[in-house]
Structure formats: structure tokens, C-alpha cells
Amino acid sequence: MTPTTVRERALKILPPELCFIDGRFRAGSGAEQRFVHPGDGDTFATRRLASPSDVDDSVAAAAVAQVGWWQQDPGRRRDILNSIAGAVRDHADELAALVTLEMGMPIKASTAGVHQAAEWFSYYAGYADKLSGAVPTVGAPGGTLTYTEHTPHGVVGAIIPWNGPVIALALKVAPALAAGNAVVLKPSEIAPFSSLRFAELAHAAGLPAGVLDVVAAAKDGGERLTSHPAVSMLTFTGGNVAGEAVAATAARRQIPVVLELGGKSASVIFDDVDVRRTAKISLILGAVQNSGQGCFLPTRVLVQDTIFDEFVEHLAAAADSIMIGDPFDPKVSMGPVVSEQARDRIEGVVDTALTEGARRIGTGGRPTSVSAAGSFLAPTVLHAAHDSGIAQDEVFGPVLTVIPFSDEDQAVAIANGTRFGLAGYVWTRDVSRAHRVASRLEAGNVSINGMAGLPPNAEFVGWHASGPGREGGESGFYDFLRTKVIHVQL
């Protein structure tokens, strides 16, 4: 299938409206928005965003639907979630094409992300019929019986970003539904179409109307969702400023919230690695993958000083050799950043870093090999001080900061020297050092000699300013449940 054919397929199944409420599409009543494909700058749709009143309607529908969903036989909920997983696999090509159309992720990567999302639904389907309490001993034998039971929160308000919408949806929606909640999902207004199509597929797979509603709203819709009195739990993935606002609203309302926020993750590279290979992998993981638009990507590359010059030479060569182009082309490994505005912002961050003393390694900038109308940026590698702005603040673009270190202690100090704590990476052939450094890194997720990704059976955890949330695994399921302790006097 040619890139043009894949794009045409996405346009044919483009959801007609930006609200999916109570099992059907309907027009939003908010402002009109134009949607632009970042690969060529062409407008592919114009739609009206959801308004706060649309959010109200969605929450009302979800509140009604949740009661019946929770009262379903648990095996029925399990089967429906498995059916959703199957529907996602069956329609993976079209969901991936929508992701590529709306935010520019290369089609090979967006397809992999959709299949990963299906795995999350399969995994949590298995929890739907295995909910159990406990019978603790709290009194004299024969005098009392104490047991616990778990119940859903009710309506969960979920907000996801644009940089991987289908997998971001799965991380929240799959465990929430398995636990018996209904979900009102607000995708980013930049990239809402894959989430809307997902909801349509879930409904066709047997999910009752209203159990998963999607409202593509701007900031005012998000504020209404987080403050709505019928929403009993919040889960948010996104930037720190918005995350702080969501956390403050949850605190005022005294409801639980899961936050997955920003990152400035470090790759710690010791001098016993294969230098050429590790330099290429570092570039791919930190800058090429999704054009560097990921919260847990290793965008700080800490390199032992004994191999620093050789490493950055290979890093620059790798950056200049990356194939950048049409994200619908399966041979392309790097597409555009999400928008022209994002490209301009990233270029401004790089310019500021250069004026503050950073040194550019390699070319970077706007590639001449692709359409100037698209929002393309080549990988940019900067040598900068560990306490500089470019090494401390999340860029969310294809920009790597390389920093030398002399020994293990200094490497750990630099790696831990930011306000974030989402991920860390260690590269070495020394097994003892690998475990030792991994244990010392102040991060919720650490990978050794690779990247783990997002397996559903393992927790994805944030520390510090990366948010207190955890997603995945058994604990990621129980976070969507409330515990009740019942005492019986015998």
C-alpha cells in the first residue's frame, strides 16, 4: 500500500464530529478548529470542538451507563474488553493511519503503538473477573468477621496528550473499564480523531453506550471535566503546568488523581560500550523516536569523558544520516514534529541555548530533503553544561543534550540533578555497575542497555516532578477502585 493510499484510507474513515457521547457521534458546540497534517501543512478537516456543555452531557450519560456496567456479570465485562482488543487489532491499520494523519508519527511506529494498546486491553480484561477482597483477623476468633470489598469510583475523567493518543488512551481506559468505571475521555484537541474512532470501535465491539465517551475539547472543556461534581476520579497525562492545575482541582474536590507528567531522562553511558552502536541507539531513542516528542525519552546523554569525543563524532554522523520524510512512508524512520508552532518553539529553545553557551554538534535544523510546508526538524545535538536550561527543561522535540562525566558518582549526580524523575537509562557491560547505578538513579523507570517500552504487566511510575502516578500492572488496576472494610459482630 502506497503512502498516498494509506493517507486516503485515513481520510475515508475520519470521524464526522468531535464528540462521541452515549454511543453516537454528535457535533461539538464549541469553537471551530482547523486540522492540519504536519507532514505537508495541508488542512484535512474542520470541526467544532466540544464545549463545557458537551462535557456536561457526556458526564451525565456516563454516570447512568456506569451503574449498569458495574452490575454486569464480571465475565461479561472481561469478554467485552477482549472483544475491544480484537477490534483494535482488526482495525490497527486505520487507527494507525489516523494517528499519522493527525500528529505525524511515522506509520510503522503508529501501527506498533496501536497493537501495544490492544495488549493493554487484553491484559486488563483478565482482571475484570478476578476482583477479590480479604478477610483480615482483627478480633478474637469467633467474635467478629472483617472483610474488604472493592468498588469502582464511578465516572473517571481522563485527559491524554497528542503524542501517542491510542496507547495513552489504553493506559487509562483499559484498567478503568475493567474495574467497573465509566470513562469520559478528553483527548488533545490537536489529535482527537484516533480516540474518537477507538470509542466507535469499542461500542461496536459490545461496550454499552455511555461507558466510554470522548469529548475533544479545548482548555475550557478540560477544566469543566476536572471540576464536574459527578466525576469521582481524574487521570491525566501531559505537561507540568496543566498537571499542576489538575492536581489542584483534585485537591480542592478531595478526589483521587493519577498524574503522569514531564521528564528529562538521562542515558548514562560508560566507556566499556560499543561506542558507534550506542551512539546510534542513543540518537534513535532520544531524538528520532517520535521526533523526540515523548516524556520518558532519554534526551540527556551523559557520556564518560574517556570516550566523549569519539562518541559525539558518531552521534553527529548518525544524526546527519537519518531518513526524514513522509510519515505515511513505511521506510521513513523520522517524521515531522506535531505542528509548525511546535517547530518554531523548538527552534527558539535551541537558539536560546546557543546564546547561553551550548555548542551545536552536527547540522540539525530544518532539513532540505523534505517539503518546506511540513513541520520537519532534523535531530539537533548540543553540548551543554548539566545545569543549563537546555539540560534542565523538557524540550519535547528532537534535541539531545550531551554532557561528559568522569566517574560513576558524578554521572549519578548529574543524572539526578533535575526536578524530574520519570526514566533513566544505563549503558555498560559491567553487570555489577549496571545494577548499582540503576539503583541509585532517582527515576521511576530504569532500563539497562535498552528501552523497556510500556508492557502492561509492569508499572510505569513517576517520581518527583514527573508526577506521582502509576499505570500498568496489578496496582494500576486497583488505583481505579475504592476499598471498603466491613466489620460483622458475630
Instruction: Check residue 238 and give its pLDDT.
Output: 96
Q: Which residue intervals of 126-181 are DSSP H helices?
A: 165-178
Which residues, in sequence order, are CB contacts of 345 under 8 Å at separation 6+?
397
Instruction: Check residue 135 and give its pLDDT.
Output: 87
Question: Do residues 242 and 220 make contact, with C-beta atoms less than 8 angstroms apart?
Answer: no
Residue 337 phi, psi (nearest 5): -80, 170
Residue 155: strand pairing partners:
182
Q: What nine digits make up the cell of 67?
A: 451503574
Residue 258: strand pairing partners:
235
Instruction: Check residue 453 and give its pLDDT.
Output: 82
For residue 242, give Cα distances in angstroms to 164, 187, 236, 238, 470: 18, 14, 9, 7, 18
Catalytic (active site) residue 295: yes
Instruction: Check residue 355 and give its pLDDT.
Output: 97
Q: Where are the beta strands (DSSP E) in 153-299?
A: 155-159, 182-186, 212-215, 233-237, 257-260, 266-269
Q: Which residue has cell 478548529?
A: 33
Instruction: Check residue 297 and give its pLDDT.
Output: 97
Question: Do residues 235 and 258 make contact, with C-beta atoms less than 8 angstroms apart?
Answer: yes
Give the span between the Cα atoms of 459 and 295, in whole angstroms.
16
Instruction: Check residue 369 and give its pLDDT.
Output: 83
Instruction: Check residue 469 and give its pLDDT.
Output: 84
CA atoms lying within 13 Å on the CB side of residue 142: 0
Q: Of 295, 394, 442, 459, which residue is the catalytic one? A: 295
Q: Give per-10-residue mean pLDDT for the chain (490 aa).
A: 88 96 97 97 97 98 98 96 98 97 97 98 96 83 86 98 97 98 98 98 98 97 98 97 96 97 97 97 97 96 98 94 94 96 97 96 88 92 97 97 98 98 97 98 96 91 92 95 92
- Give helix then strand counts, H and E, for the chain: 16, 22
Q: What domains does the chain contain, in order, with CATH numbers?
A: 3-262 (3.40.605.10), 266-457 (3.40.309.10)
For residue 327, give Cα distances in angstroms to 97, 293, 381: 10, 15, 22
Q: Which residue has cell 534526551?
A: 299
Which residues, in sequence order, are CB contacts of 44 under 8 Å at separation 6+?
11, 14, 35, 36, 37, 101
Catalytic (active site) residue 442: no
Instruction: Check residue 388 and give its pLDDT.
Output: 97
pTM over 0.85: yes
Q: Of 260, 356, 394, 442, which residue is the catalytic one? A: 260
